[in-house]
Amino acid sequence: MKTQSIISVLCSLCILCIAEVGAQSAPVLAKGRLFYADGSHDDVYLMSYRAGTATYRTNLKSLNIIQVKKPKLESIYFYEPDIFSEAMRLYRAKNYVDARAKFAECEVTYKAVDSLPDNYATLAGFYKMECSRRLYDLDALSSELEKFRKDGLTRNFQFQQLEVYALWEAVRLKDWASLDRLAQSWLDRKFPSELRVQIEYCHALALEQLVKEDATRFEELIDAYSRVLSADASASIDLVLKAANSLLRIYAEDEEVVFVMKNWDPSEERAALAGDQKLIDAIKLVRYYQQVGFDAIEPLADNYEKFLDYDLSNDAPTDDARPEEAEEEGAAGENSAVEE
């Protein structure tokens, strides 16, 4: 009897272990709603979707696996999973490192349904690439884009962002001539402001290199960075700050500006020098940087703040402190506000 009891206990333990292992290895199912051609619907847990056929369970504990396909199945709606919600919370908080890890986990978890519109595997993959872009990890972005399956995307903004990644790839490769041509070919196309900012910023990076060989393109360079400053900073603050600091660096390193500061003479009688207007523009940019509160996010470098030592104006900062060319292109390409 004792032997039989021990065997019974061991069998029970084995069954529990097998059940535990099975529970741990079971795939996470995507919760969604199936809409049928007759107008009815069911809330289910999707196991996979391939070639028009959805495989699902009616609840997580059910052992009954059901399939349904077109034309009976009309469409599928996904409920947002907790892991994606958490990743988006991190993304909106600009914690792109942790957000990218969460998006990567979500992408793998729901890969079985990645051919469906607005599925959370594809959406997670898209935002994972956005994290890499915002982290300026262009090697990772290039690798992720190569593997990305875009079938599940539905929004025009998302497809346009995939196009704009071509500019970031040119930045990664330092192919400045190709980047210049590509950016110029898109000047007349309509893009939301956040995408236009990326285009202008990447173009400015190319122009910084090209102006070394062709000094006549200096104004193009200034204009490109200035147009970045006209963006909605709440959506593109990282690039706006980069553009502002790049402009200030360009002015600080400019030979004509350096000459004016070294030979500074505030008297009204002095002859105008070639670097005077550039110095005035630099002063305006510093005033603007402080006025809109950028220095609270990224403090100005000391050598940029020193531009104010050459400010002969006693006027309070105004909206005119924004670089003159920024206004013109500000509305270009803004066809809609894009929620992230």
The pLDDT confidence band at residue 29, using thresholds 50, 70 and 90, is: confident
**77, β-bridge pairs:** 33
At 17 the pLDDT is: 40
Residue 23 pLDDT greater than 70, yes or no: no
Closest among 143, 124, 161, 139 to 235, alpha carbons compared: 161
Phi, psi of 154 (to 5 degrees): -130, -20
Burial class (CB in 10 A: 0-12, 13-18, 19+), 15: exposed
Q: Lowest-confidence range among 46-50, 209-213, 245-249?
A: 46-50
User: How many Å apart are CA 188 and CA 6, to the nearest integer?
Assistant: 81
User: How many Å apart are CA 110 and CA 96, to the nearest integer?
Assistant: 21
Predicted TM-score (pTM) of the model is: 0.79
Model confidence over 88-127: pLDDT tens digits? 999 999 999 999 999 999 999 999 999 899 999 999 999 9
The pLDDT confidence band at residue 13, using thresholds 50, 70 and 90, is: very low
**43, β-bridge pairs:** 33
Residue 150 pLDDT greater than 90, yes or no: yes
At 233 the pLDDT is: 65
CATH level 3 topology of 27-79: SH3 type barrels. (2.30.30)
User: How many Å apart are CA 233 and CA 165, to the nearest integer?
Assistant: 20
Q: What distance lies between CA 39 and its chain's CA centroid?
A: 38
Give the rounded percent of residues in the chain with a pLDDT score beyond 70. 83
Asked, as a colleague might, if the bond just before 317 is cis with ω within 30 of 0, I would say no
User: How many Å apart are CA 327 and CA 308, to the nearest integer?
Assistant: 23
Q: What distance lies between CA 9 and its chain's CA centroid?
A: 56
Sheet holding 41-50, edge to edge: 66-69, 53-57, 41-50, 30-36, 73-78
Name, in order, each residue with C-beta under 8 angstroms of 293's C-beta and a sequence gap of 6 or more. none
Give the rounded percent of residues in the chain with a pLDDT score beyond 90. 65
Closest among 245, 239, 255, 315 to 285, alpha carbons compared: 245
Residue 267 pLDDT greater than 60, yes or no: yes
Residue showing tokens 């060989």: 213
The pLDDT confidence band at residue 176, using thresholds 50, 70 and 90, is: very high
Residue 323 pLDDT greater than 60, yes or no: no
Q: At what angle do helices 255-262 and 233-253 cross, to 10 degrees?
A: 70
User: How many Å apart are CA 15 and CA 17, to the nearest integer?
Assistant: 5
Please give the structure tokens belonging to residue 31: 């919760």
Per-range mean pLDDT, top range of 59-63, 70-74, 96-100, 227-231: 96-100
At 60 the pLDDT is: 83
The pLDDT confidence band at residue 50, using thresholds 50, 70 and 90, is: confident
- The conformational region for residue 333 under phi > 0 = left, psi -120 to 50 = alpha, else beta, is left
Asked whether the beta carbons of 283 and 300 are under 8 A apart, the reply is no
Q: Where are the alpha helices (DSSP H) in the chain?
A: 2-25, 82-92, 96-109, 120-134, 138-147, 156-173, 176-185, 193-210, 218-229, 233-253, 255-262, 276-291, 294-297, 302-305, 326-330
Closest among 134, 136, 110, 133 to 123, alpha carbons compared: 110
Residue 3 pLDDT greater than 70, yes or no: no
**56, β-bridge pairs:** 46, 66
Model confidence over 272-312: pLDDT tens digits? 888 999 999 999 999 999 999 999 999 999 999 999 999 87
Select the more confidently predicted residue: 309 or 323: 309
Select the more confidently predicted residue: 2 or 95: 95
H or E segment and range at residue 41: strand 41-50
Please give the structure tokens belonging to residue 296: 């609270």
At 274 the pLDDT is: 87
